[in-house]
């Protein structure tokens, strides 16, 4: 399928952004510590700003600065405490107190909806992204051949799964997956994403965490292949609700930051829960 001029430009932009962004993210994961936490905090802040803008398009007036601060703070507190959900409780408490206090000034719109939008953004973006920090910090009782092996396996699987969905769906996609949410997503692309995600993650664990049971590694990869796509569809539903194609244009060719991390939001939290529950 031959690309139009605009399609070629978009493709070139996607490649350039990926060529710069992927090495930076992988490097931050390998370094770990406050460097990685700072990168995730910055990503969370930008995504939370985009989320607030989407809410404003829907007629709600959340305090953008508070949402950005809360999402970034959630990542920082998780880095210090090491447990994302305990950190989320403390951060949400502070955010709610500040939001209600600021709403007393008589801001536009509904105080209830404004506060709910801020809190939901902090939980959805800050709470879920902070699981990536917890994944980088924990070894979960397994000796790893590479620093941050679990997280690198997750990132590689989600990235390659998304690429497989795009390539297969564009070339052979015929049956719509969720036409009311995202008409361009197809069952063919979803199956390609599921298979690629599961296999890539399984291979990463075999290389980097050989002590992890092989069968469980494949099951975990399949789980990620499902929840990652649910995260993608959830963000698509959010954009459809406010009538936009991208959450913003901060990443040329890719849309917004929230567009880039939508799958990771669910997949990171899903993987963290799996590893914690297995002990």
The larger pLDDT score, comparing residue 16 to residue 226, is at 226
Q: Is the pLDDT of residue 1 over 50?
A: no
User: Three-class SS of residue 1?
Assistant: coil
Task: Say if CB 29 and CB 155 are below 8 A apart.
Answer: yes
Overall residue count recorded for the chain in this entry: 279
Query: Each residue of 150-187: pLDDT tens digit?
Result: 999 999 999 999 999 999 998 999 999 998 898 889 99
d(CA 176, CA 236): 14
- Residue 36's pLDDT is 97
Q: Kind and range of the H or E element at 63?
A: none
Residue 106: which pLDDT band, with cuts at 50, 70 and 90?
A: confident
- Residue 269's pLDDT is 97
Q: Which residues are within 8 A (CB) of 74 and not within 5 positions of it... i.e. 6 or more apart? A: 44, 84, 87, 88, 91, 122, 126, 127, 129, 130
d(CA 186, CA 173): 5
**Could you tell me where the beta strands, DSSP code E, fall in the chain?**
176-178, 182-186
Q: Is 82 left (phi over 0), alpha (psi -120 to 50) or beta?
A: left
């Amino acid at each position: 399928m031959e690309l139009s001029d605009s399609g070629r430009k978009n493709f070139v932009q996607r490649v350039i952004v990926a060529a710069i962004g992927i090495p930076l993210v992988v490097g931050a994961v390998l370094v770990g510590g406050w460097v990685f936490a700072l990168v995730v905090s910055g990503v969370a802040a930008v995504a939370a700003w985009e989320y607030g803008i989407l809410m404003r398009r829907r007629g709600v007036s959340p305090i953008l600065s508070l949402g950005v601060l809360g999402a970034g703070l959630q990542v920082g507190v998780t880095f210090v405490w090491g447990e994302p959900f305990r950190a989320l409780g403390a951060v949400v408490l502070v955010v709610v107190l500040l939001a209600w206090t600021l709403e007393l000034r008589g801001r536009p719109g509904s105080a209830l909806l404004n506060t709910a939008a801020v809190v939901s953004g902090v939980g959805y973006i800050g709470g879920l992204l902070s699981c990536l920090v917890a994944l980088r910090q924990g070894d979960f009782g397994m000796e790893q051949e590479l620093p941050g092996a679990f997280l690198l396996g997750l990132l590689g699987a989600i990235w390659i799964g998304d690429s497989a969905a795009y390539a297969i769906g564009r070339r052979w996609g015929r049956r719509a997956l969720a036409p009311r949410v995202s008409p361009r997503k197809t069952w063919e692309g979803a199956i390609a994403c599921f298979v690629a995600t599961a296999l890539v993650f399984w291979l990463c664990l075999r290389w980097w965490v050989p002590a992890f049971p092989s069968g469980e590694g494949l099951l975990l990869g399949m789980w990620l292949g499902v929840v990652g796509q649910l995260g993608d569809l959830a963000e698509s539903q959010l954009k459809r609700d406010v009538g936009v194609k991208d959450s913003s244009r901060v990443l040329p060719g890719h849309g917004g930051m929230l567009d880039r991390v939508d799958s990771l939001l669910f997949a990171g939290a899903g993987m963290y829960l799996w590893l914690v529950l297995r002990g």
